[in-house]
Amino acid sequence: MAELADRLRDAQAGDRRVLARLLTDLEDGTLAGPELGAVFAAGHDAHLVGVTGPPGSGKSTLVNALIRTWRGQGRRVGVIAVDPSSPVTGGAIMGDRIRMMEHAGDDGVFVRSMASRGALGGLAAATWLTAGALDAAGYDPVVIETVGAGQSEVDIATLAETTVVVEAPEMGDEVQAIKAGLLEVADVIVVNKGDRPGADRAARQLKAMLSTAGGRVARPAPPVLVTTATTGAGVDGLAEAIAAHRAARTPERRRVHAAELVRRALANRAIARAVAGPSWDETVAAVADRRLDPFAAADALLD
Amino acid sequence: MTADASARPIRVLLAKPGLDGHDRGAKVLARGLRDEGFEVIYTGLRQTPEMVADAAEQEDVDVVGLSILSGAHMTLLPRIVELIRAKGLDDVLVAAGGIIPDADVASLKAVGVAEVFGPGTTIGQVATYFRDHARRRG
């Protein structure tokens, strides 16, 4: 296998097969720590845009429409589209790509489907690594589309810089809008399927309920937009709102994001090192025999 | 930590090249392969050979499964194999299913379609074939 530096250079130069294989290696966990670091070191600080929302709200179709807008601006767009793995068989059906086929053949668009492989927060464990690789390859923005999210699959908010929550009309009354969870982490809220009855009313209700946030909530109320992804209506406005969110990025927000990346890398490296270390089997056996508790075991392995 | 290499699911791209509008069979197969533990990427109807090859490249799949009922298999399938190989995807298994006369099977195999599954094939047979013939990586 070629050296990682060579692979990154080829991926940046536009070799899509090399990039695709690199994504596979990241997904399968076959790269060593320094190599993972090199992927991030090669990054260009691409805008990571998360797109989340309930199944069938139109996330993939909206991403497809956003790609059209961004391509019109001359930007190269990377997409990681996550769909759920079966908890029973480990299999998955990934169908997000169906909605994005109009961009097939465009060298400025790279779409990769990813199965969640047992992770529960709406992403796969390696999604952050594959997003980093698309950044390194020169794609900006990098869109991460989550599995169809219910109310608490909020991992995307710790990973993406701008989180877009997509709702559809008739998804519930105002009480749904004030429940804790997904809507709280939104930087931009979209009511998609704007051509359906009730879309404007849903948007008004969301605006009204979210504008009353106070107490310990420091962040401003997110903009609420209406789009019709199938026609493209409202999509340019959404792209503007996403860009405006990045333009308003604060040093504090950068620090929070950096802390999250370090936390993930730390967990990754600490576990890999401990598992590869000389005392792993012995320590696990001690916990199995109840001679050692798991926290004492972790401390011993970290020392 | 991530699972070991032997537990890594086989990635399959299922596509419907050409103009026929019936994808019930492809969807049943997608569902069946999911239940057999495969990761299936379904691209939907009316795919050009270029679209299929592009998707196979970006998704880095182990297997490309092509469902075709329209009778255009002798035009579309060789072209897809050619485009896939031209991208350097030498180790991707390409298989076809649908309505393909026996008389055409030998010519399709000669251009690199590994296997042709006709009506009556069970999902188990397809799954076993993919497991036995898809590339092994690691």
Could you tell me if B135 lies within 8 Å of chain A, comparing CB atoms? no
Query: Do A236 and A275 belong together in one domain?
Result: no
Query: Do A160 and A222 belong together in one domain?
Result: yes
pLDDT of residue A119: 86
Q: ipTM of this predicted complex?
A: 0.91
- Domain assignment present for residue B54? The answer is yes
Could you tell me if B2 lies within 8 Å of chain A, comparing CB atoms? yes
pTM of the model: 0.91
Q: How many CB pairs under 8 A join A and B?
A: 99
Query: Do A75 and A134 belong together in one domain?
Result: yes
Query: Do A79 and A151 belong together in one domain?
Result: yes
Query: Do A64 and A177 belong together in one domain?
Result: yes
- Domain assignment present for residue A55? The answer is yes
Residue B5 has pLDDT above 50, yes or no: no
- Domain assignment present for residue A254? The answer is no
Query: Do A10 and A132 belong together in one domain?
Result: yes
Q: Are A30 and B37 within 8 A, CB to CB?
A: no
- What residues of A are in contact with residue B33 (Cβ under 8 Å)? 91
Query: Which residues of chain A carry a pLDDT beneath 70?
Result: 1-2, 151, 172-180, 213
pLDDT of residue A1: 53
- What residues of B are in contact with residue A125 (Cβ under 8 Å)? 2
Residue B4 has pLDDT above 60, yes or no: no
The full DSSP string for chain A is ---HHHHHHHHHTT-HHHHHHHHHHHHHT-S-HHHHHHHHHT-----EEEEE-STTSSHHHHHHHHHHHHHHTT--EEEEEEEPBPTTTS-EEE-GGGGGGGGTT-TTEEEEEEE-TT--SSS-TTHHHHHHHHHHTT-SSEEEEPSPP-SS--HHHHH-SEEEEEE-TTS--HHHHHSSSGGGG-SEEEE--TTSTTHHHHHHHHHHHHTT--TT--SPPPPEEE-BTTTTBTHHHHHHHHHHHHHT--HHHHHHHHHHHHHHHHHHHHHHHHHHSTTHHHHHHHHHTTSS-HHHHHHHHH-
CATH number for the domain including A209? 3.40.50.300
Residues paired with A188 in a beta bridge: A164
Query: Do A184 and A284 belong together in one domain?
Result: no
- Domain assignment present for residue B66? The answer is yes
- What residues of A are in contact with residue B40 (Cβ under 8 Å)? 91-94
pLDDT of residue B3: 40
CA distance B55 to B63: 12
Query: Do A55 and A185 belong together in one domain?
Result: yes
- Domain assignment present for residue B17? The answer is yes
Read off the tokens for B58.
């970006």
- What residues of A are in contact with residue B1 (Cβ under 8 Å)? 29, 271-272, 275
Domain region containing B119: 7-133
Query: Do A181 and A284 belong together in one domain?
Result: no
Residue B132 has pLDDT above 90, yes or no: yes
Query: Do A227 and A282 belong together in one domain?
Result: no
- What residues of A are in contact with residue B31 (Cβ under 8 Å)? 93
Helix axes A33-41, A251-276, angle to 10 degrees: 160
Query: Do A135 and A27 belong together in one domain?
Result: yes
Of B1, B42, B58, the CB nearest to A16: B58
Domain region containing A33: 4-249
- The nearest CA of chain A is from the CA of B74 a distance in Å of 23
> For chain B, what is the domain count?
1
Sheet with B93-98, edge to edge strand ranges = A92-94, B39-42, B11-15, B63-68, B93-98, B115-117
Query: Do A66 and A117 belong together in one domain?
Result: yes
The mean pLDDT value for B112-130 works out to 95
Length of chain A, in residues: 303
Residue of B nearest to A111 (CA): B58
- Domain assignment present for residue A230? The answer is yes
Could you tell me if B91 lies within 8 Å of chain A, comparing CB atoms? no
Which residues lie below 8 Å from residue B36, measured CB to CB, with a gap of 6+? A89, A91, B123, B124, B127
Residues paired with A143 in a beta bridge: A49, A79
Residue B1's pLDDT band (cuts 50, 70, 90): very low
Could you tell me if B34 lies within 8 Å of chain A, comparing CB atoms? yes
- Domain assignment present for residue B120? The answer is yes
CATH number for the domain including B59? 3.40.50.280
- Domain assignment present for residue B1? The answer is no
